[in-house]
Amino acid sequence: MTWGLLAAFAVHDLEELATLPGWAAAQVDRLRESHPRVPESVWSAMTVTPGHAATAIGLMGLVVGAASADGARTGGRSPFFQTVLAGFGLHAVSHVAQSAGLGRYTPGVVTAPLVVAPFSLWAWRELRRGGVLGEADARTTVAAAMLFPLGILGVHAAAFGVRRLARRAGPRRPAAPRRGGRAAADRSVTAQPGRPRKRA
């Protein structure tokens, strides 16, 4: 059950990884047409590239993997595991609500009710059956509801920073050849009418 959290996350986020960049680009194009006075730099900042999506999902996967490992180590008693599990379940509700509000497909809305919600409900039932949930489960749910949006923003901000550092650390482009020198001198001589071109 504890490692099932990581497995369910992987299935769900494969859908997001495959659809998020294209979907986000379509939304930016729609907003750009509706608000032509907004600077292009704003739309560029909102663009989600495949690399950014993969980095953000990978960072969130590290968090979920750590929670699953801690849950396995403690037999499901870990507050960290229970908080992430609650946030994962609430994630399904936000996906369905977002898609219903927009009236169209949003990334992750297929696996949210088919994978995320059923697994989360089953996992909570198993935790209750095992006697590892008490009065703290309500507080866990509230904490997850409050921390979940911050976690999403956090991984996207971290992904932006990681990719920016990677671009800075990457190989630099070769410098353009310096202008001037003998070739430039020859051109300048040729450009002057009536003056014979010097030979080597």
- Residue from 33, 2, 5 nearest 118 by CA: 5
Report pTM.
Answer: 0.70
pLDDT at 116: 95
Length of the chain: 200
Residue 155 has a pLDDT of: 67
Where exactly are the structural domains of the chain? 1-169
CA dihedral 18, 70, 152, 142 (to 10 degrees): 130
pLDDT of amino acid 170: 60
Residue spans of the chain under pLDDT 70: 42, 45-46, 134-156, 158-168, 170-200
Taking the chain, what is the end-to-end CA distance rounded to the nearest angstrom? 82
What pLDDT digit, counting tens, does each position of 81-120 carry? Answer: 988 898 898 889 889 998 999 899 999 999 999 999 999 9
Structure tokens at 49: 């590239």
Do 60 and 151 touch, CB atoms closer than 8 A?
yes
- Three-state DSSP state, 65: helix
